[in-house]
Every structure is written in C-alpha cells, then in structure tokens.
Structure 1
Amino acid sequence: MAVDQHAAPGSEPHASKAVDQGSTAHRRKAWIVLALLVGLMLVNFADKVVVGLAGVGMKQELGLNDRDFGFIQSSFFWLFSLGSVLGGWLGGKVRARWLLAGVAALWVLSLAPMAFQVGFTTIVACRVLLGFAEGPTTALAMQVAHSWFPAHQRAVPSSIVVAGAGLGPLIAAPVLTWVISEHSWHAAFGVLAAFGAVVVVLWLIGGDAGPESAAAEEAPDGGTAAVVLPRRVPLGSLLRTGTLIGAMLLFFVAYANTAIKVSWLPLYLEEGLGYDATTAGNLVALPYLGSATAVITVGFWSRSLTERGVSNRVTRGVLPAVMVLGSGACVITYSSLDRGPLQLVLLVLSACLSAAGFGAGFAGLSDVVPALQRGAVFGIVTGFYSAAGIVAPMVMGNMVAAGHTRAAGYGDGFLLLGVFMAVGAVVALLLIHPDRDARKLAQQGRGATIGRPRGPVV
C-alpha cells in the first residue's frame, strides 16, 4: 500500500482499516456497494427528468408559458452548487452511509408534495429543495466508489456510476410516461417518492464507504505508484492545476448538454418535432440507453489502455475531451435537420459521447487529488459544472420563445449548445494532463515537508 513517504516522524499512515483488496469478500462488497450507488444515481436522474416528461400536462394545468417552464427547470439548479460544495465538505466528516441516506431522504420529501395539487410557487420550492439535496450525489458517489478500488481500476467504477445516471431516465421515461398518460403527472411524482424511499432503506442496509487502504495509489502491477501524492495539498494549488481547470470546463459544457436533455428533450420531441406523447416518451429513453452502454464500454476501454501503459494524459484527458468535442459536433449537425432517422441517430450519438467523456474524465481527478480531499474537491467541481444547469434550461426557454416557429427556436438553441460544447472541449483538451500535474503536486509536497520542522503534524 502506498503511503506518504515524507510524513512527519511519529505520524501514522492513514490505513487504520487495512484489508486485502484482492480478497473475494472485499471484491464482492465493492460490487454490492457499486450496485447500490447505481441505484442512487438511477433515482437521482429519474427525479430530474420527470418534470420534462410531465411538462405538457403541467403547462396545461397551470397555464405556464415557455419562459415559466424554463424558470421551473432552472430552479432545480439554484442551490445545486451550494449542496454540492456543502455535501463534499461533509463527505470528509460524516460517514457515507448516513450522509447519502440523508440526502436521498430529502429527495423523497421534495417529491411527495408534487403527488397532490400544487401551485407554481410550491413546484419551484420543491425543485429548489430537490436540487439542493441532489447536488452532492455525484461527488459523494464517486468518492465512495473510488474508496473501494485502487487507482488503476477507477475508470470502470467511475463509468458505472455515471451509467446509473443514464439508467434512471432510460427506465423512468417509458414507465412514467405510461403513469402520466393513464393517471396524471402528479402520480408520476408519487411513484418516484415511493421508489426513492425503498432505495434509502437498501442503502442503509448495505451501503458505506470502503476501507481506507482501497484509496491507496497503486500501480497496475500492484506495486507502489511512481507518483505518490501528499496526504494533503493546499486547495489553491489543486484548483490551479490544468487538470482541475480543464476537467471543470469539460464537465461544464457536457453538463449543459445533460441539463437541456433532461429539461427540454421530451418537449422538443413533442412540440418541436411533432411526435405524439407516447412516442416522445419512448424516444427519450434512447439517448439514455446509448449513454449507459457507451459510458461503461469506454470505462473498460480506458482501463485496458491504462493497463497496457497508455498515459493518463491520453486515457483521462485526450479521450474524454475528444468525445465531448464529437458530441458538440453532433448537436450542431442535428440542430438543422428535419425529423427523421438521421437526426435521432445524431441525437443519441451526442448523448453517448458526452456521457462517456464525462465518466472517463472523472477518473482523472483522482490522479491529482489526494484521497483525504476528494470529497471536498469533488464537491467543488460538481458545484461548478452544475451551474450550467441554471443557465442552459433558461437560455433554451428564451430561444424557443424567441424563434419564429417552435421548431426554429429549438434549432437555434441546440446550435448554440453545440458550438459551446465544441469550444469548451478544445480548451479542456489543452489543459488536462493528470501525469504532469500529479508530479508537480508530489514535488510541492516533498518541498513543503522538507522545510517543515520535525514534530507531529497538526
């Protein structure tokens, strides 16, 4: 197990619960926890997409226009960043079993009122609470997943966690569309609240963070990694690395695509392209099916490349950036096409590339962030990129309202999104370099340790 070789004399390695990571029991538990994390992510994203699925009925019942609906969708993200940062900070102080169960319980509380007759203000309040509670989910899930797997294996669990985000809408879209058509949009929220409560109970039974030794930085051959990060690095130094800056930018543009897909895709298919409600609900599932498949495939591919000696610069920097760039190109192309198979193929491909790049990119963060700081840093990163969820739905709503036709308004909105994604991906491609930045941080840590008086670390 790799530890800080430059710790002050008398200090103890952070490995109080050392276990054999190769044991069958450990591997079994790791995959059980990963499955539970997927369940949490599934509910997390089903909660996001339900307003889009219920959008037409909600607008009719409450007399909402496009700007009003964009306001509702944007409100979900008002406190999302605050929740991300706060949850990340708590991630290093509160046991993962209780923290994730607590935030998931808040999801249930925010969904339950929507099962009954509510007004515009109540809807906004419930979405704000839900966004605040869901803010830290991805960061905490990544932190927990990484605590069960050594460094060279993290691309796969990272991708599987992200795949859970795709499975949520994939399963929820057809099921909730049926619930809405057969009952009401209120019933869809009731179903999600009940399912969320079940997931909370399951997590309390079997979920928790992994042993501290699983966070050790190991080389693919099982030895000590060539670069051993200090136990802690000044936060300013971390946030100034090209990898952190590039990853946050890459995630920002990718999440803008996700936010618009979650918020507006069902309405785009129904109002902009003219599909009936049932067909639109079924088509919404296609991008999520593709995303879940692509993100896991790329995760295994990235791991395979790493184990064959390909640098993290390529597998966790170039690869995800190129994928998001390709996603942006697909968005630009389908924004000008009429309804048809080619447009749907490009729409699904865009979602696949964006999600796959997101999953591979997240693994690169653990290469430069010490294990003890991942919760806080992941929370900051999530808080930053989730701000795209505030802006993107409102911009799309304004573009739709300003278009000379609804189809033209949607086309202009997606064109702007595609250009934004392409530019952001190119800049991120130039910045992300996990190997280089890890070496710099390790050197800084050694220099700080050498210059520190001998004695206990406080």
Structure 2
Amino acid sequence: MVGKGFPLMVKIGGIYTLSTPKYSWIILLFLVASGMINQVDKIVIGLVSVPLMKELHLSPSQWGLVGSSFFWFFTFSSIILGGMADSKNTKKMLTWMSLTWLIVQFLTPFVSTLSLLVFTRMILGAGEGPAPALSTAIMGKWFPKHRHGIGFGAVLLGTTGGAAIASPLLISLIDQYGWRSAFIAMGAVGLIVLVLWVIFGKESPQEIGLPSFHQEEQHSSTLSKVSWRQFLPHLLSKNFVFTVLCGGCAYWLLSVQAIWFPAYFTKVQHFNGQTLKLAVSLPFLFAAISQIGFSLLSDRIYRKTGDIRKARINLAGSMMVLSALCVYLANVVNSSAVSILFFTLAPGFAYVILSLAPAIFMDFFSPKNIGKAQGTFIALASSTSIIAPLVFGYFIQYATTEAMGYRYGFQVTAFGMFIIGLLFWIVVRPAKQDSIKIKAEEQVSI
C-alpha cells in the first residue's frame, strides 16, 4: 500500500515497486565523489613511486611491501566496520572515514622512512576498508532493486573516472612541485567533499519524509537481520565463494595497476611526458566507461528477464576471461601503442565484477544484511591485494632483468584471472528460490 509522501510506483516485470526519490541522486553524487577520493588515495602512491623510491632508497621488494601494507588492515576493517553499516548511522560512519582519509593525506608528505610510509598506508587502508560495504548499505536505503546496477556502476564510475581525470593532473603536479604536492592536493579535495557531505548528506529517505526501501522490504521479508553465526553458512555457498574469487582477481589487478603500472611504464616501456599520462590515465578512463556501460546493460537485461544469471553473472564472467587475455597480450606485443591498448582494456573488463557483485548480493541478502555480505566480500576479495604487490616485487627484484620480472608477474596474473573467471562463469548459478540465500524482495505485488 502506498501512503502520503511515498514515491510513485513503477511496474517492473509485472511487479510494482517504489520509484527512485529525486534526493537519491544527490546521495549518489556524494557516493561517487567519495569513491573518486577513495580510489585516487590508493593510486597516488603508485604515481609517486619513482621519485619516492629514489628519495627513500627503496628496493622493488620494499616497494611491494608498501603496496601490500595498505590492505593489511583494509581486510579486517571491511568485515568489522562494514558489518556495522547494517545497524549504525551510515552518514556518521562515512563522515569519520572521510576524515581519516584526508588526515592521512596531509601527514604523508612528512614521512622520511619506510616504516613511517608503511604506517600511513596501513591507517589509510583501515579507513577505506568499510567504504564499499557502506556505499552498498546506503544504496540499499535510497535505491530500488531495479536501480542497483546503475547505482553501483555510478559509484565505480567515480572511482575509475576520478582516477582517469586526476592521474594526469597529479603527474603534472608531481613533475612541477614534487611528490608531496600530490598528497596535499588530495587532502584538500577530501576536505571540501567532507564539508559538503556534513551539510547536505542524509541518513535515509525518512529524513525528508519518504520511506526507506528497507520498509518496502518488510511486506515480504521472511528473514530479517541475523547474527554472524547464523550468517556464516550462507557465506560458504559456492555462489558466494566463486564470486569472492572472481572479485579477488579484480582486486589483484587493481593493486598491480595502482602500485606497479606507473613504474612499469616509466622504467620498462620508457614512457614520459604525455605518453606516460595517457598510459596511466587511459585504463581508468576506459574502466569508467566500462563500469557505467555494463551496469546499464546489466540493468536493462534484468528488467527484461528478471534473470540474475543472464543480467549479472554472464557479463562479469565473460569480461574477466577477456581481461585475462588482454593482460597476457599487453606484455608480449612489441608495439607500444598496442601494449597501451591492451593495458587500457584489461582493468575495465576485470572491474565489471566489482560493480555487479553488490547487485548479485542484493538478490541473495536483504538490505539489513547486505553490509555483512558486501563487507565480507570486500575483505576476502581484497586479500589478494596483499599478495600481488609482494609477488611482483619479488619477481622484479630477483629476475634476470626488471622487464623479465614484470613479464613473470603479468603471466601469473593472466593465468589466474582466466581460470577463475571461467569457473565463476560456469559455476555460479543462483536459483530463484535458493535454500541458502537470505533474500527479501523489495517489491510490492498489487
């Protein structure tokens, strides 16, 4: 039943559901901005890799340790704080996390040793770990199910699109004013967004007189929020496990892109100036286009078919396999232009799983449990980011040449992505009435 103040009802596949409130798009804008800052905070360390390694006299293995350290506490905070997004005030949580991010950015220019640099990355990782789960929880409050794909895609658009825009600007800033200027600039941007969020951000549609989509769920929910002990068996299903593995491939490549791509383009490919800016920024630009494009396509297929496998899983699985092929080819071709092309395509295809996984989980779990599901997914999937920088650092330091070390790293990456992407594509087959899912349809049949 629809009362006064409720949004209009729209018909999706023969079922009526609440439409999207206009203020939802303002909240989404903040989530996009937050995602942008979150991602650029990760990659800025890679942009300063060459001058910072030189100043602190760091070896490839030590630099791999720096890249890995970001994810040491990231994993734990994803589970612990991400799970809190189900029950705590999400506006306050995002406020405190954003404050942590900008403080770390302002402190990083003062580091002078490897241990201090690792410490700042650890704190930043702890602060950024819950962000995806928090965004998912906020999305569940503000957007109906048929808008989840575009919503999550838009947030990832912020992460990839923001990085595409920021990378060449930060490279120019680093060239002119040194590596410290990049961190100061990101701290300033974070401060501006934080102030605007405190002023205009809302906890839920109820603050503006509209119902949360959690309320819509109550019409048909048979299982509300559950404890971690009750929740654990549902995380051991093959569908969740292989989604985590596929997401792990994306995070592996993401960490390699953030930590090692700039150094690879500079030291092995010998790119500089405009070519270096293009090589670093184009993968993020294509990833932004890919995220929003595949999210729109996924939502369109879902609206027509109501089939999550056709709409979400087939797209994510096929793109991961294609990404693996691009990673392999990027490092073996002789042409610099073709190499840049494949390095541009690979991340965009791989990251499709990161925008579609939350939409997949929304089909299994009620919004009251989505923080646990997404937080656990991020924690487990991102654990590959602890390993990847170390593996590349080891290969680069101990191979006959740096170029050969990078080649070994890219070949291992491509092989793992191909196998796991194929298995995800084949194995994950969610049923409409799966006995292991905790699902609460947010639709109202009338």
Partner of 1:58: 52
SS in 2 for 1:435: coil
Q: Deviations over 1:110-147 (max 9, x none)?
A: 11112235322211110000000000111111221232
Identity %: 25
Q: Deviations over 1:398-418 (max 9, x none)?
A: 111122221221111111101
Runs of 4+ in structure 1 off by over 6 angstroms are 442-445
* Mapped partners of 2:236, 2:408: distance in 1: 35
Instruction: Note closer, same or farther for the CA distance 1:242–1:18 as it changes in structure 2 (3 Å cut).
Output: farther
Shift of 1:278: 5.1
Aligned partner letter, 2:186:
L
Shift of 1:232: 3.8
* Mapped partners of 1:229, 1:330: distance in 2: 44
User: Do structure 1's residue 290 and structure 2's residue 286 form an aligned pair?
Assistant: yes
Partner of 2:24: 30
Partner of 1:439: 434
Partner of 1:94: 88
Q: Deviations over 1:249-283 (max 9, x none)?
A: 11011111111111111111111211125532332
Q: Deviations over 1:21-41 (max 9, x none)?
A: 659996321011001000001
For 2:67, which of 73, 77, 92 is the aligned residue?
73
Instruction: Check conservation: 1:85, 1:376, Cα contact below 8 A.
Output: yes
Partner of 2:397: 401
Q: Which structure 2 residues correspond to residues 373-452 of structure 1 after superposition, within 5 A?
A: 373-436=369-432, 438-441=433-436
Q: CA RMSD in A?
A: 2.5
For 1:199, which of 193, 199, 203 is the aligned residue?
193
Instruction: Note closer, same or farther for the CA distance 1:276–1:32 as it changes in structure 2 (3 Å cut).
Output: same
Partner of 1:214: 213
SS in 2 for 1:434: coil
Aligned partner letter, 2:341:
V
User: Do structure 1's residue 41 and structure 2's residue 40 form an aligned pair?
Assistant: no
Q: Deviations over 1:81-115 (max 9, x none)?
A: 11111221221232111100101111112111122
Shift of 1:240: 2.4
Instruction: Check conservation: 2:242, 2:424, Cα contact below 8 A.
Output: yes
Partner of 2:250: 254
Tell me the TM-score normalized by structure 2. Answer: 0.89
SS in 2 for 1:367: helix
Partner of 2:224: 231
Partner of 1:338: 334
Count of residue pairs the alignment pairs up? 424
SS in 1 for 2:142: coil
Instruction: Note closer, same or farther for the CA distance 1:432–1:204 as it changes in structure 2 (3 Å cut).
Output: farther
Instruction: Check conservation: 1:367, 1:434, Cα contact below 8 A.
Output: no
Unaligned runs of 5+ in 1: 3-14, 219-223, 446-458
For 1:155, which of 114, 134, 149 is the aligned residue?
149
Shift of 1:63: 0.9
* Mapped partners of 1:174, 1:149: distance in 2: 34
SS in 1 for 2:364: coil
Shift of 1:158: 1.1
Shift of 1:357: 3.1
Instruction: Check conservation: 2:361, 2:373, Cα contact below 8 A.
Output: no
Instruction: Check conservation: 1:53, 1:281, Cα contact below 8 A.
Output: no
Partner of 2:131: 137
User: Do structure 1's residue 270 and structure 2's residue 266 form an aligned pair?
Assistant: yes
Partner of 1:456: none
Aligned partner letter, 1:203:
W
Shift of 1:241: 2.5
User: Do structure 1's residue 280 and structure 2's residue 279 form an aligned pair?
Assistant: no
Instruction: Note closer, same or farther for the CA distance 1:263–1:130 as it changes in structure 2 (3 Å cut).
Output: same
Partner of 2:208: none
Shift of 1:391: 0.4
* Mapped partners of 1:186, 1:311: distance in 2: 49
Q: Deviations over 1:184-218 (max 9, x none)?
A: 10111111111111111122122234346424678
* Mapped partners of 1:353, 1:216: distance in 2: 35
User: Do structure 1's residue 82 and structure 2's residue 76 form an aligned pair?
Assistant: yes
* Mapped partners of 1:148, 1:282: distance in 2: 36
Q: Name the stretch that deviates more: 158-167 or 234-243.
A: 234-243
Instruction: Note closer, same or farther for the CA distance 1:388–1:40 as it changes in structure 2 (3 Å cut).
Output: same
Instruction: Check conservation: 1:166, 1:288, Cα contact below 8 A.
Output: yes
SS in 2 for 1:433: coil
* Mapped partners of 2:437, 2:88: distance in 1: 28
Tell me the TM-score normalized by structure 1. Answer: 0.87
Instruction: Note closer, same or farther for the CA distance 1:338–1:229 as it changes in structure 2 (3 Å cut).
Output: farther
Unaligned runs of 5+ in 2: 11-17, 206-210, 441-446
Instruction: Check conservation: 2:86, 2:369, Cα contact below 8 A.
Output: yes
For 1:180, which of 151, 154, 174 is the aligned residue?
174
Instruction: Check conservation: 1:290, 1:348, Cα contact below 8 A.
Output: yes
